[in-house]
Amino acid sequence: MYPRSISNLIEAFKYFPGVGEKTAERMAFNVLGMDKVQTDFLANSINNVKEKIKRCEICNNFTESNICSICEDKLRNADFLCVVEDPKTVISIEKLGTFHGFYHVLNGLINNTNGINPEDIRLDKLIKRIEDGKFKEVIIAVKPCLEGEMTALYISNVLNGMNITVSRLASGIPMGADMEYIDPITLEKAFDNRKKISYNETTNS
């Protein structure tokens, strides 16, 4: 019904997760409304990202060189290694500007039901890096879920006895959340990990 080039573009947009016929149509019409400079930039950016982006040889983060800019940064604190699930989390943590250590990006999480074992997410590479390095603390910053817990547990087990602190980001109720909508597991975790309120904190707040 559409001219060939439009229907091709609609099909192409359906590669994006969650994009169905309607959204893909709308996006294709958006492209028709863009000027040539914009569509050139868009198409070139897609090609470039696929051609140039590879994984950092040290930390597995996205990079255009062999070693990413964070791993190459001599000013970072070599005492801390933050283990994340994907490159997006690196960006989120970097945006905070409070963590100055290094990162290690996994290729996913251990998942027994889906048959994803430690070797599938190359945990051996992480372990080797820690063994070779001088990190004092490994902070596991993967999402709090069954797979996250299993991955964290596996890493801390392997590192057991290596004189390295292995820590995990705190689980609990997110700031600004409505208590009514907190799921029971989060609520239970928040109870278990409750913190004593010190006199100073209460007077400061």
- Can you give the binding site for its own copies, defined by CB under 8 A? 1-6, 8-9, 11-13, 15-17, 25, 27-32, 34, 36, 38-53, 62-64, 68-69, 87-88, 91, 94-95
The SS3 of residue 102 is strand
Give Cα separations from 127 to 16, 124, 146, 183 (angstroms): 34, 5, 21, 34
**Beta carbon nearer to its own copies, 47 or 112:** 47
**Beta carbon nearer to its own copies, 16 or 191:** 16
Nearest distance from C-beta of residue 2 to its own copies, angstroms:
7
Nearest distance from C-beta of residue 140 to its own copies, angstroms:
22
Q: Say which DSSP state 55 is in.
A: E
Nearest distance from C-beta of residue 30 to its own copies, angstroms:
5
Closest Cα partner for 133 from 180, 94, 98, 81? 81
**Beta carbon nearer to its own copies, 15 or 181:** 15
Encoding tokens for residue 178? Answer: 């409505």
Instruction: Report d(CA 17, CA 39) in Å as an integer.
Output: 21
Give Cα separations from 109 to 92, 141, 187 (angstroms): 18, 12, 24
**Beta carbon nearer to its own copies, 47 or 117:** 47
Q: Strands 80-84 and 102-105, how do they pair?
A: parallel
Nearest distance from C-beta of residue 123 to its own copies, angstroms:
21
**Beta carbon nearer to its own copies, 70 or 139:** 70
Nearest distance from C-beta of residue 14 to its own copies, angstroms:
10
